[in-house]
Every structure is written in C-alpha cells, then in structure tokens.
A and B are shown apart, each in its own frame.
Chain A
Amino acid sequence: MMHYFIGNLGHFFVITSFITALMTAWVYFKATGVSDLAKKNDWLLNGKVGFYLHALSVLGICVSLFVIIANHYFEYHYAYSYSDRKLASYYLVSTFWNGQEGSFMLWMFWHAILGIIIIHTNKFWEAPVMTVFALVQAFLASMILGVVIPGLEMKIGSSPFILLRDVMQDAPVFKSDPEFIPKDGNGLNPLLQNYWMVIHPPTLFLGFAATLVPFAFCIAGLWLKKYRDWVRPALPWALFGGAILGLGILMGGYWAYETLNFGGYWNWDPVENAVYVPWLILVASIHTMITYKNSETALKASVILVSATFILILYSTFLTRSGVLGDASVHSFTDLGLSGQLLVYLFFFLVATVWVAKLRWKEIPSSKEESSAYSREFWIFIGATTLCLMGFQVIAGTSIPVVNKIMEGLGIDSKLAPPTDQIKFYSRFQLWFAIAIGALSGVGQFFWWKKIDRKILFDQLFIPVVLALLATLVIVNVAHVLNVGYALMMFAGLFTVFANLRILFTLLKTSSGLSGGSIAHIGVGLMLIGVMFSSGYSKVVSLNNTGMMISKEFSEEFNRDNLLLFVHEPRTMWGYDIEYLGERLEPRYHVGYLKKGDVFETFDKDKVVTKKELIVGGHTYKANDTINIKGENTFYEIELRKDGKKYTLYPRAQINQDMGGLLASPDIYRTASADLYTHVSSVMNPTEESDWSPLQEIRIAKGKDFFANDYVSVIESVDRIHEVGGITLGNDDVAVKAKIRVKGERGDYLVEPIFVIRNKLVARIPDEINDLGIRLALLNIHPESNEFTIGINTRQKDWVVIKAMEKPMINVLWVGTVILMVGFGMAMVRRFREFSKMKAKGQE
C-alpha cells in the first residue's frame, strides 16, 4: 500500500516553512523600521510567532522524512535511493543527509535552533538579526520546495518527498502498475556506513549555520547605524562557529584518513577547500573583531571579513552543489538542477551586503592615525591578512572551473583545467603561509597582553626563540628534517608553542579566564608540527624484502613498495614480525570477525551458515546458525608481533559490484610516536577458479598419519550418513562421511569429504581448507583392508598483498586540534560572559 499521507504532510511542511520564513522576514523588517514602541512590540510578537511556526515546520519536514526512511517506504525516491532494510538503525540517520535535500534540511534545522536562541537572548538586536535569518531560511526552503510554476514550466527546488514513480516516469514497471513499491532500496553507500559519517555532517552544518549569526549582527549593525555595538554579541558566535566548523572539517579529514586509502587526512579536493577557505576567513574575522574591541581600528576590516565568511559559505555551497565542479573533482557531484537557484541565493546576499556596506561606509568610524609597528593592532592585522591570502590562494585554484564557465559565457573558449597535482599546487604556498602564521601567532600574543616597546619585546621573546631554536636543532638532527621549508615550519610551530606557554603561565597566575587565546595558539603550533611530520615524512614501510617480485604484471614501484603475505608465513616489517592469518567476515549486528573457513556461504551474499559452534566477540553462534554479515566487506587479519606482544590489524577490502570495483580501507595501528597505516593493495579473486595441483592418491587406514600439502593429517572417523545436502537418501543408496583432522600451524582443521552411491552412481563431494590450500576427497573405500583412498589436491595458499605507511607524529596533530578547540571554547565562554554582563546593565 502506498503511504501518500506522510509525503503530502512533509511537502505541506516544506511549503509552510517557505511561506512562514518570507512572512517572518517581512514582519521583522517592519519591526526594525518602526520607532513607536507599542507598535514595535506588536510587530516583534508577530515575528516571534512567525519564526516559531517556521521552526515547527522545519521540525515537521525532518520528522516526516525520517518517518519515511525509518519505516522503509520505498515508494519514496529518497528512501529507495539511500537506504535498504538491512541498514542498522544508526545509519538510517546518515541516510537522512545522504541526499542533497537532506543536507539543506539539516542546515535549516540548525538555523531554526540558533534563531530561537537569539530571539530569547537578545531583545535589542532581535528584529534586524532575525530579518536576515528569516530571509536565509526562505532561500534554503526554496531549495527543497519542489514546486513547478505553472505557465513558466520552471521548477523551483527539489523535494525530498518525491515519489519514486515520479522520478522514473519511463520505467516500465510503473507504467504497468503505478502502485508498485520496490521490496528493498538501493542502500547507503557502504563507504558512508561509518560512525564519522553519522556525526560529521551535523557538526559541519552547525558550523555553517553559526557563520550566519555574526553576519546577521553585522548587517543589523550597519542597518541600525550601530557601527560599534554589533561586535560584542557577534563575537561569541564567531568563536563558536570557528570551533564547530574547525571540528567538522577535521572530522571529515579523520574519516578520510580511516576509510579511504589515499593515505592522508587532507587531499586538497574542492569539497575540502570549499570549507577550509571560509574557516580561514572566519578566523581572520575573529582576530579583527577582537582588535576592534580593544581599540577603534579594524572595524571596517571586521565588516568585510564577517560578510566575506558568510558569502564564501554560500559560494562553497554553489561550488559543491551546482555541478560546476563536475569535471574537476573526484567526488561525483549530482546536479539537482538547482544551479540557477543557488546563484540567485549567492548573488542576492552578495549584492545586498555590498549595497548596505557602501551606503554606510563613510559613516563607519576608523582611526586616522597609523598604528605603530609595536602595537598589537598592526601585528593582528598582518596575521589576518596572511590568513586571507592563504584562503585566496586556495579559492583561486578551486575556482578554475568557475572561471572556465564565465569565459564560456563571454564567448571565449577556455581550456583551463585544474592543476593535475593538487597536493603540490596548494602545499607549496600553504607551507610558507603556515610558517608565517606560526611566527605571527607567537609574536602577536605578546603584544596582546602588554603595552610594549622594542626592549621589552626582545626580552620577552628571547627565551621562547632560544628554546624553539634549540629544539629545532635537536629534532633536525635526530629526525633528519633536512627540507628547509619543513624545518622552518617546525621552528615556527615550536616557537608558537613556547611563546604561548610563557604567556599562559603568566596568565594562570593572574586571570586564567583569559587564557583561551594562548591555549588556542598552542594548539595551532602543535598542529603545524603534526602536519609537517605526518605529511612531510610519511614513508612506505612495507618494503618488499624478499628479493623476489610479487608479479611481473605489476609496476616496478608496486613490486618494491608492497609486501606479499601468504597465510601463516611470517615476514618482517617495521621491526615487527608480521603474519597473515586469513580472510574474515563481519557480522552485521554484532561485533567481532568470523573466520571465512568456519562458515558456509549462501546464495545471499549477506548471509552465512556456521559450520560449528563459534564464539566471536563474546557472542555464541550455534552450529548451522545463519548469521547476517556485511557481504561486501572482507577483512584480512594480520598479526604484528614484537617483544612477546601481539597486535592485530584488520584492513578491509570492499568488493561491491554496484560500486564497480574494489575499495580498500586501511587499519591503523597507533603508537605514541607514529601510526602504522596498512591497507591491502591486491587480493585473491574470489570468483576465479584456483589452480589445483594434479590429484594425488593415498591409501591409508583410520588413525594413521599422512601428509597433505606438508600438513600432518589423520582420518578420525568414517560414518554412514542418511542425508546429503538436504536430500534424504533412498534404501539402496549409501553415503559415508569421513572426518579428517589436519594440523595447521595454528590449530586443527576438520575436513569432511563425502562418498555417495546414489541410483547406482558414485559421487564424491570434496571439502577444502582455504587457509592451507588443501582439498581432500574420499575416493574409495576398501572394506577388505579397512583402508580408504584419499584424493589430495593442493594449491597456492591464500595470500594478500599489503602496503603500509608510517605516519610519524600524527598524534601531535590530533592533540593540537583538541587543544585548539579547548582554546576556542574558553574564549567563547569569556566573550559570552562579557556580553551577558553588558546585557545585565541594559546596554544590549
């Protein structure tokens, strides 16, 4: 039965949210304009009610879509395309934002929450700020409107509540039966079935949403001609945005590091750049806003940077969702036909902001006198400029496809393509900017806290500089950091850490509440050091030390950098003994790994049947139990041993025909000083018939040892059975099953070949041990001598080729990130308290 109601309800909420957003914008606009207090209050009340209605509609949209996904209503395109019945419930949440419509909804949801917080915390600014909020919401709601304007045949927005049959109008199945509902969906991309993909998108979109708040305050300040006052309420939100957006970006990087096999956390891909640049500008704006609060300068710069941050968020939304990057990114962006709408969204706010700013520009106060080279303003300004240039370099490279489109529009045939080596293109510049940032955030912090002249400055800087120099010298020599840029980056990072530690200690004695800034900069310094080592000195450790080529088919480089491991044949790598233990499967709803040899495969790739009782991950499976597994995933158990200690790695290969190939994901062995990053680079083909050796026959009695592929084996018992493969045998038929124990390096294997005479025909069902590459068959029975003929085939043992890299000091990067976030958090709390105090005094 089709569930029309929920989709119609959802669509109703979408339309309501659009209309209420427009209405709220208008009402708050009027509220901002009127001076009569009673009237103003009426308008404000209306605005509040309007925004609450809007927020409820947004919630309604989200709930409706979630009901569709959670109940598997596959008549809806969204549920069909991004989920299936097998999906664990927490990944159903990821389904929600797998489509672009869902991510627009997520963005709206956060705006609605932030809007309500602002209504309740800030009476003075409510009307103008919420005007901007409601306008933005109207634009976002229009993206999921899914309405065709009659007459113009123009479609506005792409609705998440569209039925599958409306999407696939030409599919024959819908022509014969419009009420057809698929039994199951296409499922969520297995790569996204990862816990980081549950929390990364909401975090990132909360960061996106948070950039709207300072922007709205800025516009409100210009609008009301309160050029100075908007900064105080905007600053805590800017810090909040900086922390959350930064966290979101790093979560994405960490997901890539753990899941993809390009070997790093950052790839300078357009999707990454598109959020990195607004974050840099946001951080620059935080600095100018703080400078302004301490003196009168940098007000104009703050207006520009705060606006630029929001406009850049819109620009990056356009870049990643319009399809303009289609030829330029490894991410396959689907074009929902929203390019035009996204452009209108971008240009509306760009033009409006420029217009408002131009109108008020002359009135914005700015200090006439030149700031001294020993003032904090000067150095903060240099820092903010560096951040902007850093962002500019990245956005220039990322925008090449846009430049092409513009040229095309002008009738010029542009053949410009993005740089082929993106990592080199961006890193080459970013490295030097990062060095400058490191140095500036060390020096700048001293100006922050003291009125300073040349002499005091040099006194203060002497110790951190000397310490950083000494540390750099030691590390350069110990770790052989011989690249000048890398060594400088390390020095800059160390200098920032030492300089800010010095300030931190002074502050902890006097006013620890103010130490957020120095803590954040210590985090930045550590991140620089971590990035330098883990990216600059990442090295391949899975060197082929056998002296033999893996295969002539492979390139020289592949043969050198990869290690071929056979089951139970130890090798050495990175100072460890390394041994491959075999292929493993992953139970869908329980933890742990199943040995592939312990289960029978079935026709359903997601179900296996146990051969015997198994205890895996604390869960007991009985013999002949059916276990749900994630059929697309195979894990390769690899053991590392050193000094009597054992560590196990489970790198993964995802064989997925829908995805058209083999996707390797690494497993990471973490030590304090470095990560060992291991992924499979070639695996056995499960569909390919293996090459078996010619049959070898052996005549042996029960209980006597024989050798199969050099493994000691013994027939334990031979019993008559009455059922073979689910078929009950007749009276004239005979079947016997032998139980043969084979002693492997690690425990015994039980092989059970069967000998059948059915309808006077002889059949032999062999059994094999994958790990050892042995297949045994019961060929004949000799009752006269009580002996049996066993047929033995052998093949190459199971193998896997791996590549492993050492990522030194990567933990310094993660620790630095956490410290940076703590710093942001402390600064945010401090600025919010400041704002609350002023509010209590009735000044906001």
Chain B
Amino acid sequence: MKKSHILIIVVIAAAIAIIVTTAGDASTYVTFDQAYDLSSAGNKKDIHVVGQLKKDTGGRVIGIAEGMDRVSFSFLMIDDNGKEQKVEYNQPMPPDFTRSEKVVVIGSYDGETFRASKILLKCPSKYQEQNVNV
C-alpha cells in the first residue's frame, strides 16, 4: 500500500469521526413537556426550546421580573405547543429582548422552573419596525 493511500484512509477516518461526534454532540430542539420528561428521567443535558414571550392582548410583553441583583431576570415563555413556562436566566436581559419575535432558550429544568444558560433571539427584520422616536 502506498503512503498516499494510507494518508487518504486516515483523512477519511478523521472526517467520519468528526461528523459522528458532531452529530452526537448536537443538541436538539424540544418542547417544554419533552424537556420536563427528559429532566425527570434524570437527563440534565442542556436542550433547546423554541417559543415566544407571553404577551397581553395589546401585544405587550408580560411576565418579565427582574432579579434582586439586577443582573438576572425571569420571564414567561410559550413554546410551539402553547405550553406556558417560567424561565429563569442568570444574566441581564439581552438587547432587544422584548422586541424579539422568537426566543430560543438553552438549558434544562430545575424542579418546576426552566433554568436557561443561554438565550438566543430572533429579531424582526428591521423593515418591520414601525416606531419612530419623535
């Protein structure tokens, strides 16, 4: 066997190993119910939940509470299945949080509350913004 063949085999093996571990380490998008089941079953691995902030009929975000230390906060989120859940976040509110049309929380259940370790926001395209500060 030539050296170049051995090299090719090694490279392919490495590439496959990378793909397999990437797939293995990848997290998944779940609903709050599924996340709760996972957590009850003892699986404390962080997962992604997609949803929206709870809003009143006027479209205003409700349920945001600032933590005592001012660098944490909690909020109410409704996942794609319509389940409402209180989410706690150990950091200040991210920029544009209340303007987001979609929120992704990454974390896991701690008892009855969902503790987020990271929050990602999907913000409306800037062309949908319709407020001018006069």
B18 nearest in chain A by CB position: A393
B residues less than 8 Å from A664 (CB atoms): 71
Given that A330-B120, A425-B25 are known contacts, is A182 also in contact with B96, CB under 8 Å in the complex? no
Contact with B along A92-118 (1 / 0, CB 8 A): 000000000000000000000000000
B118 contacts the other chain (CB 8 A): yes
In Å, the complex CA distance between A555 and B72 comes to: 11
CB distance from B9 to the nearest CB of A (A): 12
Contact with B along A626-665 (1 / 0, CB 8 A): 0000000000000000000000000000000001111110
Given that A370-B3, A420-B46, A660-B95 are known contacts, is A182 also in contact with B132, CB under 8 Å in the complex? yes
Q: Which of B14, B30, B47, B69 contacts A420 (CB 8 A)?
A: B47
Given that A417-B47, A420-B45, A555-B90 are known contacts, is A171 also in contact with B132, CB under 8 Å in the complex? yes
A residues less than 8 Å from B95 (CB atoms): 189, 332, 659-661
In Å, the complex CA distance between A183 and B47 comes to: 45
Given that A332-B121, A370-B3, A661-B94 are known contacts, is A419 also in contact with B18, CB under 8 Å in the complex? no
In Å, the complex CA distance between A171 and B134 comes to: 11
- Say whether B22 contacts A397, CB under 8 Å: yes
- Say whether A681 contacts B71, CB under 8 Å: yes
In Å, the complex CA distance between A93 and B132 comes to: 24
B86 contacts the other chain (CB 8 A): no
Interface size class of A (residues with CB under 8 A): 35 or more
Q: Which of A329, A378, A682 contacts B70 (CB 8 A)?
A: A682
B60 contacts the other chain (CB 8 A): no
In Å, the complex CA distance between A724 and B50 comes to: 57
B133 contacts the other chain (CB 8 A): yes
- Main SS at interface, chain B: mixed
Given that A378-B3, A418-B26 are known contacts, is A336 also in contact with B125, CB under 8 Å in the complex? yes
- Say whether B123 contacts A334, CB under 8 Å: yes
B100 nearest in chain A by CB position: A332
A382 contacts the other chain (CB 8 A): yes
B131 contacts the other chain (CB 8 A): yes
Interface size class of B (residues with CB under 8 A): 35 or more
Given that A392-B15, A661-B95 are known contacts, is A400 also in contact with B7, CB under 8 Å in the complex? no
A461 contacts the other chain (CB 8 A): no
CB under 8 Å from chain A, chain B span 16-30: 18-19, 21-23, 25-30
Q: Which of B4, B18, B21, B134 contacts A389 (CB 8 A)?
A: B18
Contact with B along A386-404 (1 / 0, CB 8 A): 0001001100110010000
B123 nearest in chain A by CB position: A332
A416 nearest in chain B by CB position: B26
A residues less than 8 Å from B94 (CB atoms): 330, 660-661
Q: Which of A171, A326, A373, A660 contacts B3 (CB 8 A)?
A: A373
B63 contacts the other chain (CB 8 A): no
Most buried by A among B67, B94, B95: B95
- Say whether A182 contacts B123, CB under 8 Å: no
B residues less than 8 Å from A189 (CB atoms): 95
A residues less than 8 Å from B25 (CB atoms): 397, 419, 425
CB distance from A441 to the nearest CB of B (A): 18
A residues less than 8 Å from B133 (CB atoms): 182, 184, 186
A478 contacts the other chain (CB 8 A): no
Q: Which of A184, A420, A659, A662 contacts B106 (CB 8 A)?
A: A420
CB distance from B118 to the nearest CB of A (A): 7
A residues less than 8 Å from B15 (CB atoms): 389, 392
In Å, the complex CA distance between A373 and B6 comes to: 12
- Say whether A171 contacts B69, CB under 8 Å: no
Q: Which of B11, B27, B67 contacts A385 (CB 8 A)?
A: B11
- Say whether B120 contacts A385, CB under 8 Å: no
- Say whether A554 contacts B129, CB under 8 Å: no
CB under 8 Å from chain B, chain A span 315-374: 326-330, 332, 334-337, 370-371, 373
CB distance from B72 to the nearest CB of A (A): 9
- Say whether B130 contacts A683, CB under 8 Å: no
In Å, the complex CA distance between A189 and B123 comes to: 16
B residues less than 8 Å from A604 (CB atoms): none
Most buried by B among A173, A335, A381: A335
B93 contacts the other chain (CB 8 A): yes
B104 contacts the other chain (CB 8 A): yes
B residues less than 8 Å from A661 (CB atoms): 73, 92-95, 97
A757 contacts the other chain (CB 8 A): no
CB distance from A424 to the nearest CB of B (A): 9
B residues less than 8 Å from A553 (CB atoms): 67-69
A residues less than 8 Å from B14 (CB atoms): 389
Given that A171-B131, A421-B46, A661-B95 are known contacts, is A328 also in contact with B26, CB under 8 Å in the complex? no
In Å, the complex CA distance between A170 and B2 comes to: 70
CB distance from A616 to the nearest CB of B (A): 28
- Say whether B26 contacts A400, CB under 8 Å: yes
CB distance from A466 to the nearest CB of B (A): 29
- Say whether B93 contacts A327, CB under 8 Å: no
- Say whether B71 contacts A682, CB under 8 Å: yes
CB distance from A795 to the nearest CB of B (A): 17
Given that A182-B132, A551-B68, A682-B71 are known contacts, is A396 also in contact with B28, CB under 8 Å in the complex? no
In Å, the complex CA distance between A781 and B94 comes to: 53
A479 contacts the other chain (CB 8 A): no
In Å, the complex CA distance between A553 and B88 comes to: 13
A residues less than 8 Å from B27 (CB atoms): 416-420
In Å, the complex CA distance between A623 and B106 comes to: 52
In Å, the complex CA distance between A174 and B120 comes to: 33
B122 contacts the other chain (CB 8 A): yes
A residues less than 8 Å from B118 (CB atoms): 330, 420
CB distance from A105 to the nearest CB of B (A): 17
B residues less than 8 Å from A660 (CB atoms): 93-98
A residues less than 8 Å from B102 (CB atoms): 326-327
- Say whether B70 contacts A415, CB under 8 Å: no
A685 contacts the other chain (CB 8 A): yes
A residues less than 8 Å from B29 (CB atoms): 327, 415-417
A residues less than 8 Å from B134 (CB atoms): 173, 182-183
B residues less than 8 Å from A173 (CB atoms): 132, 134
A429 contacts the other chain (CB 8 A): yes
A residues less than 8 Å from B3 (CB atoms): 370-371, 373, 378
8 A-B pairs with CB atoms under 8 Å apart are A173-B132, A183-B134, A396-B22, A415-B29, A417-B29, A553-B69, A555-B90, A682-B70
- For the complex with contacts A336-B127, A416-B28, 17 further pairs of A-B residues with Cβ separation under 8 Å are A326-B122, A330-B94, A330-B118, A335-B125, A370-B3, A381-B7, A385-B7, A397-B22, A415-B29, A415-B30, A419-B25, A419-B26, A420-B46, A420-B117, A553-B68, A554-B69, A801-B69
Q: B residues bordering A, Cβ < 8 Å?
A: 2-4, 7, 11, 14-15, 18-19, 21-23, 25-30, 45-48, 50, 67-71, 73, 90, 92-98, 100, 102, 104, 106, 117-118, 120-123, 125-127, 129-134
Shortest 10 CB-CB contacts between residues of A and residues of B: A661-B92, A420-B46, A661-B93, A417-B48, A417-B27, A553-B68, A659-B95, A682-B69, A419-B25, A662-B92
